[in-house]
Amino acid sequence: MTTHFHNSIPLIILALLFFGPPLAHARTNCSHVTQIPQTECEALLDLYHRTNGHAWKNKWGWGETYKPCQWHSRRNRVFAIAGVTCKGGHVITLHLNNNRLNGPIPQSISQLKQLRYLFLAKNRLTGPIPDALGNLSQLTKLWLNDNELSGTVPEFLGKLEQLKELLLNGNQFEGKILEVINQLNQLDFLNLAQNKFSGVFPKSLTSLNRLIIDDKHLSLSICSIVTQIPQAECRSLFEFYSQTNGPVWKNNAGWNLTQTPCDWQGITCFDGHITQLELSNNQVSGPIPESMGYTLSQLTRLKLDKNQLSGKIPSSLGHLSQLTTIELNNNQLSGSIPVPIGYLNQLQQLVLSNNQLSGPIPKSIGNLSQLKNLSLGGNQLSCDDIPSSLTRSGTSVSCY
């Protein structure tokens, strides 16, 4: 009896090695699935295999059970936060954001004909958007953002008449943004930022409630659709953003991403014009463009202190006759104080301390009858040149 048992052990081990644990090595045969049509099951498996499914962050049950509606399904009180969701015997949600998908989106995804929500953001998907997506007529939300997708925005997206949200930002798309997107009458939110689009943004899309695009490659496209302020003022802001390394500012909320510049970080408007530009301590670097002095005619406050601005103070600032405050202190500005600064009759605060300014102080500064504070310390200026008219008028002056 004992001998027979010991003789059987190798056979038992061999059987386990050959057949393996039934569940651990099982593979779903979609012909046996009853929750959803076989074609939908096969589409899910195809997506898994073509996007390196074995390396996914979360893959519970994928291809191992006969209940695809529970594959990688985790819920909170509001919504299925990941995986497959079904309703009425069909897949309606595929939520695989930030799940290490790698590879192209397969054409077989067109078999998920009742799909409403397709979330594949923050993965490593590559290649173009497959034309099969044009057959998913029930889609209301399509999130493909933050991948490595390329090519152009395909015309067949215009067939998705139910689409409300389209997020393509953070990819490598290029070419023109087609008017075909304007066929999406239900579209509410469109994000195309951080791509390589070119040309001019279609004005017909400006009616969207939420629109985010990237002006980096779109030839001042934002300014072509702005209505809050004159386009010349918008273009001046765009140039300022470009020349002062706007993408790495500490806070650049809204800049060149929305068509409402009066809501951009640091911007204040009144009566259809920019009146204040305040970006203190915001990691703004580079030169102040001359264009600002020729276009921002209603500017009253210019506060760019505690940054890394360099180069000369533009003499064009002397054209901004409404200025009451100029604060450019604690930067790396060099050269002399422009003579036209003394033409700003409304100026009350002129703070230029802690830069690398040098040379004489312009006599024209003595004409600033409204000036209350003149701060020039921490530079290499000729402080003996301070106009005596300022001291007689009671202006607070510091130079050394």
CATH number of 293's domain: 3.80.10.10
Residue 251: domain span: 230-400
- The answer to whether residue 219 is domain-embedded is no
User: Cα separation of 37 and 202, whole Å?
Assistant: 41
Burial 334-351 (b: 16+ CB within 10 A, else e): eebbbebbbbbeebebbb
- The answer to whether residue 48 is domain-embedded is no
- The answer to whether residue 265 is domain-embedded is yes
- CA 314 centroid distance within chain: 31
CB-hemisphere CA count at 13 Å for 26? Answer: 15
Q: What's residue 325's pLDDT?
A: 97
User: Cα separation of 368 and 380, whole Å?
Assistant: 22
Sign for the CA dihedral angle at 72, 76, 77, 81 comes to negative
- The answer to whether residue 148 is domain-embedded is no
Give the total number of structural domains in the chain: 1
Phi/psi for 234 (5° steps) reads: -60, -45
Q: What's residue 110's pLDDT?
A: 93
- The answer to whether residue 256 is domain-embedded is yes
Q: What is the pLDDT along the chain (400 residues), one digit of tens a residue?
A: 444 444 444 444 444 333 433 333 347 899 899 999 999 999 999 999 999 999 998 888 888 888 999 888 654 444 445 789 999 999 999 999 989 999 999 999 999 999 999 999 999 999 999 998 989 999 999 999 999 999 988 888 888 989 998 998 889 988 877 666 777 888 888 888 778 877 666 655 555 556 666 545 554 456 777 889 998 898 889 889 988 988 889 999 988 778 889 999 999 999 999 999 999 999 999 999 988 988 899 999 999 999 999 999 999 999 899 999 999 999 999 999 999 999 999 999 999 999 999 999 999 999 999 999 999 999 999 988 888 888 777 889 999 8
Q: What's residue 201's pLDDT?
A: 62
